[in-house]
Amino acid sequence: MTGLKTAKFKIVGGKALDGEVVISGAKNAALPILLSTILTDEKVCLKNVPDLADVKTSFKLLQDLGKKCSFEAETGVAVIEGGVTSHVASYELVKTMRASIMALGPLVAYAGSAEVSLPGGCAIGARPVDLHIKGLKEMGAQINLDDGYIKANAIGAGRLHGGHIIMDKVSVTGTENLMMAACLADGTTVIDNAALEPEVEDLAKCLNKMGANVKGAGTSRIEIEGVEKLHGCDHSVVADRIEAGTYLIAGIATGGIVTCCNTLPSTLDAVLQKLREANALITVDGTSITADMRNRQIKPVTVVTAPHPGFPTDMQAQITVLNALASGVSSVTETIFENRFMHIAELIRMGAKLEIKGNTVICEGVTRLKGAQVMSSDLRASASLVIAGLAAEGTTIVDRIYHMDRGYEHIEKKVRGLGGEIERIY
């Protein structure tokens, strides 16, 4: 871990990326799906599981809870089986991966009680979990906050009951947590104002394969008819739309041509629309998406992040690099998270002309960025710095790349496969 924490990327920029990159399974689908296996003691076999730090943390969490996990990184196949024997998700794990909060719903639904550490603050804002707690209370969980832990008990003879949950705010992991809990609750649960993200849909698909009865995932009203128990299943994790968008932007920023294979293009509509507005030639062929930027100039685009199907906050930092290199002035507004502009100061160090005004970044395009020493602050911020480094003149050193390892599988191999010059140094 210490080795990982001190690792840096050395990037020699200025080469147009050219080639094909195979997109991995989505981190944000794999994590809830892995945690959904808490709901059954039978064998769940998952394919297209990305080899990422957060995935490994999820295995550690499942193992701590008593489950048996095996993972073959080369094939992306994970097998999880056995019942949970503990109902505690420790601070040590939750602090390294906020998504661990999604153990709360399945644990209390399966075991009747759960203790999950409260996630602390994080680099991209306060990120509370009140909606998760409120929803579980609606389903009959008694919840106390004690010693930094959320302690939940199903008071109806150890089982939750159905409820009508109206989410005050659209929350992705909140929707997923409650959807999982509702699968083993007595009666019907309705979640209104549910998140529409494709990862919510993929989780619902997997839950239904396990014998759950979830309807409406991918719409703002999800209905879950609780069942007695769930069984094992096989499932392949949906493609990572954020990883795909990141490589397309890297291709565009460097003036190259990049094809992302194994994608689900319909999950990228808002991103592809902005990339076309930015003057990239985008073509979709089955599960492949190509962005061709050869001999074209980047045009500035106005971006406002929004819940799906709007422009994803997880692509905000990356598209800002395109605006930093565009011919003109534009703006990027972040509406989901406060404090998600940590990459801006670093991009300015590389010669970008960016200015933060409230929750908007005003971008005045420059013709070239220049290599510099920069620091990652979170996962997507680090992706934007790698893109900037690939597009910049000279050498860029990106520090604290452990953030990047949380969400991008085999980055160096993939970037090098496209002709980019990147090396991990210590």
Which residues are annotated as catalytic?
122
Task: Indicate the SS3 state at residue 355.
Answer: strand
Q: Which of 131, 275, 375, 401 binds ligand UD1 (CB under 6 A)?
A: 131
Q: Is 191 in the site for ligand UD1 (CB under 6 A)?
A: no
> Of 70, 80, 84, nearest to 44 (Cα)?
80
Whether the CB-CB separation of 32 and 44 falls below 8 Å is answered with no
Nearer to ligand UD1, 118 or 281 (CB): 118
Q: Which of 38, 99, 196, 381 binds ligand UD1 (CB under 6 A)?
A: 99
> Residues 6 or more apart from 221 whose CB is under 8 A from it?
190, 191, 192, 194
Q: Is 100 in the site for ligand UD1 (CB under 6 A)?
A: no
Size of the site for ligand UD1 (CB under 6 A): 20
Q: Is 318 in the site for ligand UD1 (CB under 6 A)?
A: no
Please calculate the CA angle 214-112-63 and round it to the nearest 5 degrees: 85
Residue span binding ligand UD1 (CB under 6 A) among the ranges 11-19, 165-173, 219-227, 326-334: 165-173
Nearer to ligand UD1, 125 or 156 (CB): 125
Q: CA-CA distances (angstroms) from residue 279 to 237, 252, 327?
A: 31, 9, 11
Cα 202 to Cα 205: distance, rounded to the nearest angstrom: 5
Q: Which of 5, 47, 68, 169 binds ligand UD1 (CB under 6 A)?
A: 169
Q: Is 171 in the site for ligand UD1 (CB under 6 A)?
A: yes
Nearer to ligand UD1, 13 or 32 (CB): 32
Q: Is 130 in the site for ligand UD1 (CB under 6 A)?
A: yes
* DSSP conformation class of 117: E
Residue span binding ligand UD1 (CB under 6 A) among the ranges 44-52, 169-177, 286-294, 409-417: 169-177
Q: Is 198 in the site for ligand UD1 (CB under 6 A)?
A: no
**Contact string 108-127 vs ligand UD1 (x = CB under 6 A):** -------------------x
**Residues pairing with 116 in the sheet:** 89, 150
> Of 236, 192, 167, 260, nearest to 29 (Cα)?
236
For 180-235, give the secondary structure using H, E and C.
HHHHCCECEEEEECCCCCHHHHHHHHHHHHCCCEEECECECEEEEECCCCCCCEEE
Q: Is 173 in the site for ligand UD1 (CB under 6 A)?
A: yes
Q: What residue ranges bind ligand UD1 (CB under 6 A)?
A: 28, 31, 99, 127-132, 169, 171-174, 199, 312-314, 336-337
